[in-house]
Chain A
Amino acid sequence: MAKRTGIEVSIAIAEAARQANVDVVSAYPITPQTHIVEHLAQLVADGDLDAEYITVESEHTAMSACVGASAAGARVFTSTSSQGLALMNEIVYLASSLRTPVVMALANRSLSGPISIWNDHSDVMNERDTGWISIFANNGQEAYDLTLMAFRIGEDRRVMLPVMINFDGFILTHVIEPMYIFDDEEIADFIPPYEPVCVLDTDNPITMGPVGVPDVYTEAKKQQEIAIRESRPIIEEVFEEFAQRYGRRYEPVETYKADDAEIVLLAQGSVIEAAEVAVDLLREQGRKVGAVELRLWRPFPFDALREVLCGTSIKQVVVLDRCISFGGPIGPVLSEVRSALYLEKDRPMVVGVVAGLGGRDISLEEYVEMFDVGEECLRTGKDSGEETDLVRIVGLRE
């Protein structure tokens, strides 16, 4: 059994890629992802990882190299943040539509402008509809575990899709956390060699990524939509196997003290652990509150979310978005949670708040304020309309 050691989360994620025995790493350094790719470059240079480290002049090329390498049958890893992901965007779509199971460690960071190197979820939300499997980690251990599982999930022949693992930039990347890091032998057989379904091979030439004329484009998109939808049971299969082997259990939707809660805060990423402190504080005061973590972002876990939120004690959900949908429905998470519950008869009210943009810390008092927003909605019975459609930012200087 691995022992718990203090390690910087970025280094642990790079170690996960090494333990997965990746063939190709192509990445461009960007804050706050830098330590991940620096460590991988060092591992390759020192001969500790037998892989090609493809240095590139931009993230656009990094993702292009990843897709090409994956199409040639390699196990591929990359990592980026923020503007880097935005620059990759065009090729991010290709990775999923060509069904190349690239694994990306995404150190979540806000988007410019103004220029901000700090954490929020603007970068991943911009990639919401790219067709990648997208999973959130809320601490370093989870980021490490999920990076390892990402290879199993994406490369499963029933899935064959790229996977991005989200973890908060700086808040997680630059923290030294006590973590269980596997011995290499312990994890080796969890991740078998990659066997591509479709591979570029000069002896058996095929074309990947051809023109999709109007007669086939729609069918190609349907195929892709079914692929990500059907990845859901395989994701849970991998979570289950990981739990059986190593004792750490992951679920598409996770809860904290939500069983008898009336008001829950729903969020993604590291804020969940801080929100749990607020839950404990409010529980001491006798308030029935809890927290819900939307770990799996794509494919969206409709059934698991409904199971937690509908027909239960929960009367009010407060969704914390770390990103603004400008001129739209406050934030993407609120929009999707509301939409998922729309047809449910016995559903809670759902209200949204935005906080923690561009690295702004959320204080304990501010989490309490979010629960107060929920309580106010519950009291007035209003979760929509003019006032609640406004983007309510907690921690804003008015």
Chain B
Amino acid sequence: MKLKEKPTWKELPFACSVPEPGNSVHYKTGDWKTLKPVVDKTKCIKCGTCWIFCPEYAYEEDEYGYYEPNYEYCKGCGICHRECPAQCIIMEEEVVE
């Protein structure tokens, strides 16, 4: 069951509980960021350090073993940029069209 985005007080589940496990994926926090991480794949060593450190589980491994941030969830904290041993992640200003 996907909760309505803006339920009335009668529609809100009992005691504001969340009856659906893992539904935080519906809550996209990507628009919080001002800087976004950009991975330079020519330098990336596929170590997965960014994936380990990301507090939002926003990194996803692609079919070639590289890690890419999912910008729908990445809050732009920059921890991956700070921790990357190959220094292949740069933070760029997020520009909204």
Contacts and interface: CB of A to CB of B under 8 A. Distances in A.
A206 B8 CA distance: 20
Interface in A314-368: none
Given A205-B21, A206-B21, A97 B16 contact: yes
Interface stretch (A52-60, A210-218, A245-253, A264-272): A210-218
Q: Main secondary structure on chain B at its contact with chain A?
A: loop
Q: Considering residues B5, B15, B21, which has the most beta carbons from chain A within 10 angstroms of its beta carbon?
A: B15
Contacts, number: 53
B17 interface: yes
B7 A207 contact: no
Interface in B7-53: 7-10, 12, 14-21
B12 A216 contact: yes
Contacts of A206: 17-21
Q: Considering residues B5, B14, B16, B21, which has the most beta carbons from chain A within 10 angstroms of its beta carbon?
A: B16
B12 A198 contact: no
B6 interface: yes
Contacts of A160: 14-15
A198 B5 contact: no
Interface of A: 97-99, 160, 197-198, 205-210, 212, 215-216, 218-220, 222-224, 226
21 contacts: A97-B15, A97-B16, A98-B17, A99-B14, A160-B14, A197-B14, A198-B14, A206-B20, A206-B21, A207-B17, A208-B15, A208-B17, A209-B16, A209-B17, A212-B16, A215-B5, A218-B9, A222-B9, A223-B10, A223-B16, A224-B15
